[in-house]
Amino acid sequence: MKIKHLLLISGFIAILTILYAFTSKATITDKVMNESEWKNLKVLPSTISNDSLKTLMKGYNKALGVKCNYCHSEDPNGKKGELDFASDSKKEKEFARHMILMTRKINAENFNWQNSPDPEKIDVVSCTMCHRGTAKPSESLR
């Protein structure tokens, strides 16, 4: 009986280990996200957590209907498809910075009803509100 239990438990642990090995299989995203220090943040807070940055970036993907590589370029020294998130070589990334600042300004200047001491953090207007799943809202939403 006891041995059967032990076998069951060790079998269970083995399955968990295998599952873990699969889920933690470093996708590009996971690997970079685990770095605790960002290399090239110019408009987002430099202390932003991995989780918050990840959520934000996934939000951009959804808002614009794109993948990470729409703004981030491939790492010439990395494996195929591996992105260099700190690189500024895509103009879309630089434009996105401009958009982040614009969105912040729209909110701070027009939607600060409560006289917030931190108007930069208001998010009444968001990327999604204009983009609605497309990178070019002016073309698709006329």
Rounded Cα–Cα distance for residues 9 and 55 (Å): 36
Decide if residue 86 touches ligand HEC (CB under 6 A). Answer: yes
Decide if residue 108 touches ligand HEC (CB under 6 A). Answer: no
Decide if residue 47 touches ligand HEC (CB under 6 A). Answer: no
The three-point CA angle 58-60-63 to 5° equals 110
Structure-token match 């729209």, residue found: 106
Decide if residue 75 touches ligand HEC (CB under 6 A). Answer: no
Decide if residue 65 touches ligand HEC (CB under 6 A). Answer: no
Decide if residue 40 touches ligand HEC (CB under 6 A). Answer: yes
| Closer residue to ligand HEC in complex, CB, 19/67 | 67
| Closer residue to ligand HEC in complex, CB, 7/124 | 124
DSSP per residue, 30-88: HHHHT-SS-S--SSS-TT--HHHHHHHHHHHHHHHT--GGGTS-B-TTSSTT-B-TT--
Rounded Cα–Cα distance for residues 52 and 54 (Å): 5
User: Two tokens at 93?
Assistant: 């990334």
Decide if residue 122 touches ligand HEC (CB under 6 A). Answer: no
The contact set with ligand HEC (CB under 6 A) reads: 29, 32, 38-44, 57-58, 60-61, 64, 66, 68, 70-72, 85-86, 92-93, 95-97, 99-100, 103, 125, 127, 129-131, 135-139
